[in-house]
Structure 1
Amino acid sequence: MGVNGHSIGMWNCFRGIHKRKGKKTALDLTAPASDAILKNRKNTWIQLAGHPGGFAPAGPNTIWKKRYTKDNNETQAYETLMEDTARDIVPMFYREVEYNTEYFIEIEDLLQHFTDPSIMDVKMGTRTFLESEVSNTTLRKDLYDKMVALDSTAPTAEEQQRQSITKLRYMQFRERESSTAEFGFRIEALRMSGETPSSNLKRVKSKEQIHGILSKFINNRRIVQQSLVHRLKEVRQHIEDSAFFMTHELIGCSILVMHDKFEKCGVWIIDFSKTNLIEDGCEITHRLPWHLGNHEDGFLFGLDNLMQFFSDIEIKEELTNTMKPSQTIPDS
């Protein structure tokens, strides 16, 4: 990826780059998660967020992800991305398979590159719902009741009087309950090395709360901090240079961040089930505010902020003094 010409390998940082020449390789598997495969896996696969039971180990280095929608948006997205300049910032895609009347996509198991990693799932964008989901202006009491259950002070006087709200009003309320609306990302789940996953993070929204979680995640290691910031810069450059990303709205996509005790680091974009091609003639920046019809999603706005949050983490000097000079990544 080499956005600034540095050779990341010399700093022991895993970049997630694979030389993907020729056609995609399809693995000849008839069922996921055989006992022999599971016993020999380097890592036990961990699902941080999303539908329970939506993933299963497949081959030694792949997983199956269940398709919940009738369309095959995610399959089409991955197939296009494998031919795009941004293919190195997403898991490698192998195929779509039908198994027991259900459909799955088979993709690279990113954990194969790490030993007991710390993992973070970050939902990106200022909008995590499709425009088609909120175009209906029907007033709904059930959504009003959900809002009140989460925050009794949220409804306006008019909403209290009529005891109903639109779906758009509810969805935007939910976005403001987390850091999504203000910063363009929210931390969905976190798993520190050797610990159980935590997914009760969706209402984390303040700068102080975010800094606290990210500081915990990098565990006061400057080399991890600098490597992740460098990788996030590369991901951003790939998005800005990508024909795919600049012609699609990115709704519900996540950034998956990992590092382990050997200071291998990786950042990838995952989850493309709500990714849609925008209409001809409609330009998208992924940074401008959204209004109905412009398809802006705030993905790059969120990525800019996430990168800044990581950059702003203060490392305790008593630990960094023990690091070797070769472990420090030069400023880009």
Structure 2
Amino acid sequence: MATAQAQPAPSGQADIPKLSPESLLEAGFHFGHRTSRWDPRMKGYIRDKKNGIHIINLKETLRGLIAAKHFLRNLVSTGVKVVFVGTKKQAKDIVRAEAERCEQAFVSERWLGGTLTNFPTIRKRLARLDKLEALETSGQLAKMPKKMQAVVNRERRKILSNLEGLRRLDNLPSALIIVDANMERTAILEARKLGVPVIAVVDTDSNPEHVDIVIPGNDDSVRGIQIVLHALADSCIEGKKLAEQGKGLELKKGLGIVGYDDAAPKPKDDRGRGGPRGDRRGGGGGTRRRGRADEASPEAEAAAKEAVEVAEAQSAPAPAPTVRTKPRAQKKDTPAEGGEKAESKE
């Protein structure tokens, strides 16, 4: 009787150890950067230093991972999307694989400035990508001249390399999962500006202040990144299953956060817009101070009166200019006239 053979596990998934202090320790996730390159704001996540290298406290790492797993499971259960971000060489392939496994968006090649703050333009570029791919599938591209085909293919490859991972996004993401907070600081600043929560792997040379859930660890350890992202992707899968079963949180009320798309528009400020007591150049909308400043002193009144007189004098019409005429030159006596005068004298 033939025994049933076990199905082989997908490549790269069978050899990933479970999340534990031992697995992180074996992966070298506790090694930080040199002490000369450290950021003092990471002091609370550092346990010790050895041979000029900071040692990260793995208790803080596990604490951040547990918080991130619970947060992602509850967030994805509402039906929203998150984005995995990691463009460095050690993380790009892992980011792509784990994001595709949990069916979330990702950025693994390059974070374009304005990906969040200028999201409508990103959607237009993705719509352009769909149109270019439709030309190829319909056979219209083959009927074009070869030069035009080369132009279309070049544009399609460029958009695909930069924005392929964002095709799942119809709206702004509800969270970012970032590897190396120092390299992806542009993405963190954009998320902070829009109020999008950030979960990040932060090394000892990075700033953790702009990160909502900090996972301190070695962001250059390929094995460590694989363990962490695999655990976070599992939480996203759990949240998606809860959403499909109708057991997810509703409208993000249980999370205590509001998505950027759901937030009410902020009231416009009247300052600098010609508001009350303001001019068109923008500077007047403040409240008027009251007190002794309202009572003008005699010196101020005298100075104001003098200024008015000077202004009136400057605005008075100028007198008509006087034209100086040169006197006519006298003619010299001719010899004949001189003789007549001489005779008359005689």
| TM-score, length-scaled by structure 1 | 0.24
Larger helix percent: 2
* TM-score of the aligned structures, taking structure 2 as reference length: 0.23
More strand by percentage: 1
